[in-house]
Amino acid sequence: MTGVLWTGEEFLKAVGGRVVGSAPSAVSGISIDSRSLMPGEAFFAIKGDRVDGHDYVRDALDNHASVVVVEESKLGRFSRVQPAIVVDDVLKALERLAVAARARAKGKIIAVTGSVGKTSTKEMLRLVLSASGSVHASVASFNNHWGVPLTLARLPPDADFGVFEIGMNHAGEITPLTKMVRPHIAIVTNVEPVHLEHFPSVEAIADAKAEIFAGLEPGGYFAVLNADNPHFERLSLVALKSGAQVMSFGQAKDANARLLMHSVLSDRTAITASVLGKDVAYHLGAPGSHLVLNSLAALLAARLMELDVKAGAAALADFKPSTGRGERHVLTVNGGRATLLDESYNANPASMRAAIALLGQTKATRRIAVLGDMLELGEKADDMHRDLLWALEKARIDLLFCAGPHMRALYDELPEKRRGGWAEVSTDLEPRVLGAIRPNDAIMVKGSNGSRMSLIVKALNARFSAGNAPA
């Protein structure tokens, strides 16, 4: 067992329920996945979208869970499962532990939401704040009804900073999560037409993001907002009504953290900014104009907590995009090299435009975009795909491959010489993409996760494997 996150007594008090077997004396961590569970951790049998944790309770105990938290109604499925805590509802039990974790937390708490850039901003905050103290932050994009309480339940009481990603697909989802997190600083990266299928308008999306202010700690803490976003005023009004101080980042002249200059280099971005009147020059360890404002939000948050912004900014040199979100690979093609930008994890109009712009700034003889459908965009989906035409023109993309029925709308608009190929599904497009690559190409693959564009990335890496290590 590594360290004590919760004493047995604290844990039982917070979780509630009925103990079967001998109660643990301590819990070293919180797990909802028996495969990654470390000895001594408590296992919560959460029911996810695809699997029910109750199917893995035995595995968790075999892997030396200190205790398993299970549901009363499912107890009949097990014989001699112990030590266990039996509760009415496992997710509610995890939430109770999360609330207890927040109540005992001593550090400053930051929550991040927005249509795009939540994880990037959260990871930048992890780096920036680590220059000033210990940081606990969400794993990956653990930003939903189980991800947020899980992250909170794992918060060590003496962490100097807690950083929480909060996401949503529908109105009303952020409110309970932010009330659990109770941030001192709430960041909204931006508001864009994402998950539009579930909203009547982009304004309604802005209102749903603004729910994050409902959880802000009282006492004039901070709402950190994107001054360049068309919904800035709408968000500001809600923040002000909640008693927050509004602080802004962006290119706008009056932004509190203002971008002065940036230049996208092959492996990083050089940035100069003025953060609450203090000039800082730094390198962000990944290329991309779209990432710049995320870093400003992180530095503004640091400055609002009166931290060393210079040291925080220097730490951003270590920022790396995660898998499928801009990760770069070098391909070896016919003895030459080509660059692959893996953006296959997800897509919406905002991140699509950002990735196309980045491809346009990538050094290459030919620039090839391989795009899959952006999902959940509702009735205007075809129009939103067609509207990418200008972004492709502006970035001087030479060749476009498309997969999916919505992408057909865009593909049909292309001039003949730019048409690489279209297919209904990504696997059918794959051989044509593989056959088209030449040395000195830059190729960017992007689409919603459900469009399965990652299969093309995998195939490219497998075929041109000699140098497929991340660039």
Ligand X SMILES: Nc1ncnc2c1ncn2[C@@H]1O[C@H](COP(=O)(O)OP(=O)(O)OP(=O)(O)O)[C@@H](O)[C@H]1O
For the chain, the straight-line distance linking the first and the last C-alpha, in angstroms and rounded, comes to: 37
Cα angle 453, 461, 285 (rounded to 5 degrees) comes to: 85
Binding of residue 236 to ligand X (CB under 6 A): no
| Helix extents (H) in 167-288 | 174-181, 202-210, 232-241
CB of residue 166 to Mg ion, shortest distance in Å? 10
**Which does residue 95 bind out of Mg ion, ligand X, none, counting CB within 5 to 8 angstroms by kind?**
none
Judge contact between 320 and 287, C-beta under 8 A. Answer: no
Binder to ligand X among 234, 325, 385, 408 (CB under 6 A)?
Answer: 325
Binding of residue 141 to Mg ion (CB under 5 A): yes
Binding of residue 322 to Mg ion (CB under 5 A): no
Q: Which stretch binds ligand X (CB under 6 A): 126-134, 155-163, 217-225, 350-358?
A: 350-358
Q: What is the largest CA-CA distance in the chain?
A: 72
Binding of residue 362 to ligand X (CB under 6 A): no
Instruction: Restricting to residues 81-140, name those near Mg ion by CB under 5 A.
Output: 118-119
Binding of residue 118 to ligand X (CB under 6 A): yes
What three-state secondary structure class fits 213?
A: helix
Cβ-based nearer residue to Mg ion, 194 or 453? 194
Q: Hey, what's the torsion of the CAs at 109, 169, 70, 38, to 10 degrees?
A: -50
Letters for 415-434 (x = contact with ligand X by CB under 6 A, - = none) are --------------------
Binding of residue 448 to Mg ion (CB under 5 A): no
For residues 208 and 251, give the distance between their C-alpha atoms in angstroms, rounded to a whole number.
25
Cβ-based nearer residue to ligand X, 114 or 372? 114
Query: 């304004």: which residue's tokens?
Result: 203
CB of residue 339 to ligand X, shortest distance in Å? 16
Binding of residue 293 to ligand X (CB under 6 A): yes
Angle between helices 454-463 and 426-436 (to 10 degrees): 40
**Which does residue 410 bind out of ligand X, Mg ion, none, counting CB within 5 to 8 angstroms by kind?**
none
Q: Show the beta-strand stretches assigned E in 202-347.
A: 222-226, 245-250, 257-264, 269-275, 278-284, 327-333, 336-343
CB of residue 135 to Mg ion, shortest distance in Å? 17
Residues forming contacts to Mg ion in the complex (CB under 5 A) are: 118-119, 141
Which residue ranges make up the site for ligand X (CB under 6 A)? 114, 116-120, 141, 143, 167, 189-190, 290-291, 293-294, 325-326, 343, 346, 350-351, 354-355
